[in-house]
Structure 1
Amino acid sequence: MDQRLKIFNGKLITPSGIVDNGCMLMADGAITAISDRNIDAPDALEIDACGKYVSPGFIDIHVHGGGGHDFMDNTVGAFLAIANTHARYGTTAMLPTTLTSSKEELLETLRIYETADKQNKNGSQFIGMHLEGPYFSVKQCGAQDPRYIRDPDPEEYMEILSNTSVIKRWSAAPELKGAIEFGKYVTSKGVLASIAHTDAIYEEVLIAMENGYSLATHLYSGMSGVTRRNAYRYAGVIESALLLDEMDVEIIADGIHLPPPLLKLVYKIKGADKTALITDAMRAAGMPEGESILGSLKNGLNVIVEDGVAKLPDRSAFAGSVATTNRLVYNMITIAGVPLPEAVKMATATPAKIMKIENKKGTLAAGMDADIVIFDDEINIEMTIVKGRVVYRKTLAYNETAGS
């Protein structure tokens, strides 16, 4: 049995509101009790939250890298370093995400994931793989390598899914030949189908949604807006995702990919229950600005990181995010005007619901996984706890002798 942990003197962010001077207990990787008064637990290691916020851990369902590493470097060391990096910023669970690549490289990434997952003890928990591509529109490829973009191939995606059970999400463009059949197939296998890097119009999005696609990948980025064809206007994926109540969306809330007016618009229309905050972070997240590489070290794209974002070398377009989850929450509060509990929900309960793990993660309640972050008024992370284990602490101390 793991050592019990007790957090006291914190502002607990719970589904029913913020509990001032709250107290909670954790044991065997789960939350065992929450109270608005002290809980007597003489055998527990005690953590004084010092009046700071105690929140469910942040869940990043779209992340490529960080700390100088990318998941498609295809090394166990890269996977573990990324998990450790993002734990420092409050991420307790993540979906490692690929880029468009060859089938062979994709299969290797999946193989490395399975090995790294078993060794990941000190960072954000891996909760499955997110395949971003290769079934995209070339017109909306963005920083995705066009050499590998192709239409869905049943033989290929069936082979990939038969080789592993770790794929939990797959992003694709629904207007492509065979994309509707792809969406139905992956959904039947328990994989979330998401719309991404797409030039679809409303009518195609509607058909896609009816056949399994339920999420819009990084809303506004790599997708169509209103277009004109022979004088007639057509709603694109952006308008469709905002209009369709059943469609969830995810946003890169770094304040750069989406400026404040768009962050406010998404929140106004979709609300916290349908909007997940994602970093979409590349390897430069948590690193100094300067030259970097998007994708694998072997055949990735050279980029420059400045002004808090990755850009193509000619600065003609963004080439990736360097966001961390705590900054996403902070931005939604400070520049989008979202109340703190709602901003936290967008990084916790909502992504948990999207990934159908809301019975284990995303809220502070007895029986839930003990994934906890403690942060100050500016969402600076003081401590990160994954499944009841302290994996990062900044200044907060906890007693080394139970009950002292």
Structure 2
Amino acid sequence: MGYLKIFNGNIITPQGLIKDGTVVIRDGIIVEVGNGNPDISGAEAIDASGKYISPGFIDMHVHGGGGFDFMDNTIEAFLGVAQTHAAYGTTALMPTTLSCEKQDLLNTLSIYEIANSKNTMGASFVGLHIEGPYFNVKQKGAQDERYIRNPDPAEYKELVESAVFIKRWSAAPELKGALAFGSYLRSKNILPAIAHTDAIYEEVVQAYENGFTHATHFYSCMSGVSRRNAYRYAGVVESAYLIDEMTVEIIADGSHLPAPLLKLVYKIKGPGHTALITDAMRGASMPDGESILGSMHDGMKVVIEDGVAKLPDRSSFAGSVATADQLVRNMINLAQIPLMDAVRMATRTPAEILGIGKQKGSIQLGADADIVIFDHQINVEKTIIRGNLVYGKKRSHLLTHH
């Protein structure tokens, strides 16, 4: 591949902003970061024209986009979602499932493996996130009740043993058998996350001690303060605030959480413990109207309007249609936080939560050359994955549009 030089930009690094800087890439790896514009013979060069040179966005919870859903269980869908989100600055993502039959999950695992080897023009896959089916029915949200059940050791062990790329699993920790499930996942280097849960503080503390160190789509489908026989109990929301080391992820699409809650999460958890996620379904980057959440063959009908997907009766949100650039923009504009912190929440923090911080999530020597160039309004101009330009305003013919 040789050398690629990205120059004349403001580089966002863990140490701060390098103005008028250059990033030098060799064979997909960052080999130089600094001021000025060094002469490198034979290097391909990209002029950032004074814009930001940022680490690529990492979306650790995404279901679909561009008219595709990972639950379609086709290679075309996997690649379509990856290419759609790459156009908005996502360089790495975690394909996410919905509650379903075990056979559907086994199919998803086999498709993931094939699609991963063919994924050269889209956001790279950094492991599979299984969301469900071990949830509390009271907090099911848009998950299909037909499939919700308690943790089944025979089932989850079979799935985990059959695939090394399961990296995260979201479940309700108060269910029978959930603590043993969390400990088992940790022993296999898989991140257990708290989701679709009605747990109280005492249960969350136990869950945390058994490996559940992360909260899935914070605030959505989880308990807050509740009253039982006149006594008040702290829920998962308060627990995540109280347990300092617990990490959270938020859907900063402007609909799932209003500005005051975005500000509160930032104020209490901070940019180092908060990841931005799209939780996008197939309607991301698509026009408003009717759509399907989950797989084409047995998913749920939903309506996309007001910048979010809803159940047809409007009783609940049914996933977001956000893209990663929008999340960063919203944190700056709605939550009024500094650009550097907003970018960190979409890059370095998710990488650290997933344990891939050495390779991804920051512009530093030896890291993968996953880079996005954007302007002051976070409009993405170019997306580079492992040193390859996969999306560019001037080279958009590289993308296959559906």
Pairwise TM-score range, normalised by the shorter structure? over 0.9
In structure 2, how many angstroms separate the alpha carbons of the residues matched to 1:302 and 1:111? Answer: 26
In structure 2, how many angstroms separate the alpha carbons of the residues matched to 1:271 and 1:100? Answer: 31
**Structure 2 partner of 1:391:** 390
**Structure 1 partner of 2:77:** 78
**Structure 1 partner of 2:261:** 262
**Structure 1 partner of 2:372:** 373
**Structure 1 partner of 2:35:** 36
Using the TM superposition, give the Cα deviation of residue 396 of structure 1 relative to its aligned residue in structure 2, in angstroms: 8.1
Is 1:231 aligned to 2:230, yes or no? yes
User: For 1:257, what is the secondary structure of its paired residue?
Assistant: coil
In structure 1, how many angstroms separate the alpha carbons of the residues matched to 2:17 and 2:30? Answer: 17
**Structure 1 partner of 2:399:** none
In structure 1, how many angstroms separate the alpha carbons of the residues matched to 2:62 and 2:395? Answer: 27
User: For 1:346, what is the secondary structure of its paired residue?
Assistant: helix
- TM (normalized to structure 1)? 0.97
**Structure 2 partner of 1:249:** 248
| Pairwise CA RMSD | 0.9
**Structure 1 partner of 2:180:** 181
In structure 1, how many angstroms separate the alpha carbons of the residues matched to 2:16 and 2:394? Answer: 26
What does residue range 185-200 of structure 1 map to in structure 2 within 5 Å?
A: 185-200=184-199
In structure 2, how many angstroms separate the alpha carbons of the residues matched to 1:39 and 1:98? Answer: 45
Superimposed CA distance per residue, residues 73-125 of structure 1 (whole angstroms, 9 cap, x where no aligned partner): 00000000000000000000000000000000011001100000000000000
In structure 1, how many angstroms separate the alpha carbons of the residues matched to 2:274 and 2:378? Answer: 19
**Structure 1 partner of 2:133:** 134
Query: Match of 1:269, as an amino acid?
Result: I
User: For 1:219, what is the secondary structure of its paired residue?
Assistant: coil
Task: Say whether the 8 Å CA contact 1:382–1:396 is kept in structure 2.
Answer: no
Is 1:313 aligned to 2:318, yes or no? no
In structure 1, how many angstroms separate the alpha carbons of the residues matched to 2:390 and 2:2? Answer: 14
What does residue range 2-401 of structure 1 map to in structure 2 within 5 Å?
A: 2-395=1-394
User: For 2:213, what is the secondary structure of its paired residue?
Assistant: strand
- TM (normalized to structure 2)? 0.98
In structure 2, how many angstroms separate the alpha carbons of the residues matched to 1:209 and 1:317? Answer: 28
Closer, same or farther in 2 for the Cα pair 1:396/1:378, shift >3 Å?
Answer: farther
In structure 2, how many angstroms separate the alpha carbons of the residues matched to 1:15 and 1:188? Answer: 31
Using the TM superposition, give the Cα deviation of residue 3 of structure 1 relative to its aligned residue in structure 2, in angstroms: 3.1
Q: Which moved more, 1:123-132 or 1:29-38?
A: 29-38
Task: Say whether the 8 Å CA contact 1:48–1:396 is kept in structure 2.
Answer: no
User: For 1:310, what is the secondary structure of its paired residue?
Assistant: strand
Q: Which 5+ residue runs of structure 2 have no aligned equivalent?
A: 397-402
Superimposed CA distance per residue, residues 228-251 of structure 1 (whole angstroms, 9 cap, x where no aligned partner): 011000000011111110100000
Task: Say whether the 8 Å CA contact 1:24–1:39 is kept in structure 2.
Answer: no
Query: Match of 2:41, as an amino acid?
Result: P
In structure 2, how many angstroms separate the alpha carbons of the residues matched to 1:93 and 1:6? Answer: 21
Superimposed CA distance per residue, residues 300-346 of structure 1 (whole angstroms, 9 cap, x where no aligned partner): 00000000000111112111100000000000001101100000000
Task: Say whether the 8 Å CA contact 1:376–1:382 is kept in structure 2.
Answer: yes
Task: State the identity %.
Answer: 64
User: For 1:373, what is the secondary structure of its paired residue?
Assistant: strand
Query: Match of 1:291, as an amino acid?
Result: E
In structure 2, how many angstroms separate the alpha carbons of the residues matched to 1:286 and 1:12? Answer: 27
Task: Say whether the 8 Å CA contact 1:13–1:341 is kept in structure 2.
Answer: yes
Task: Say whether the 8 Å CA contact 1:65–1:284 is kept in structure 2.
Answer: yes
Superimposed CA distance per residue, residues 254-291 of structure 1 (whole angstroms, 9 cap, x where no aligned partner): 01100000000000000000000000000000101111
Q: Which 5+ residue runs of structure 1 have no aligned equivalent?
A: 398-404
Using the TM superposition, give the Cα deviation of residue 38 of structure 1 relative to its aligned residue in structure 2, in angstroms: 1.2
**Structure 2 partner of 1:400:** none
Using the TM superposition, give the Cα deviation of residue 174 of structure 1 relative to its aligned residue in structure 2, in angstroms: 0.1
Query: Match of 1:320, as an amino acid?
Result: G
What is the number of equivalent residue pairs in this alignment? 396
Query: Match of 2:96, as an amino acid?
Result: T
Query: Match of 1:267, as an amino acid?
Result: Y
In structure 2, how many angstroms separate the alpha carbons of the residues matched to 1:30 and 1:380? Answer: 25
In structure 1, how many angstroms separate the alpha carbons of the residues matched to 2:39 and 2:364? Answer: 18
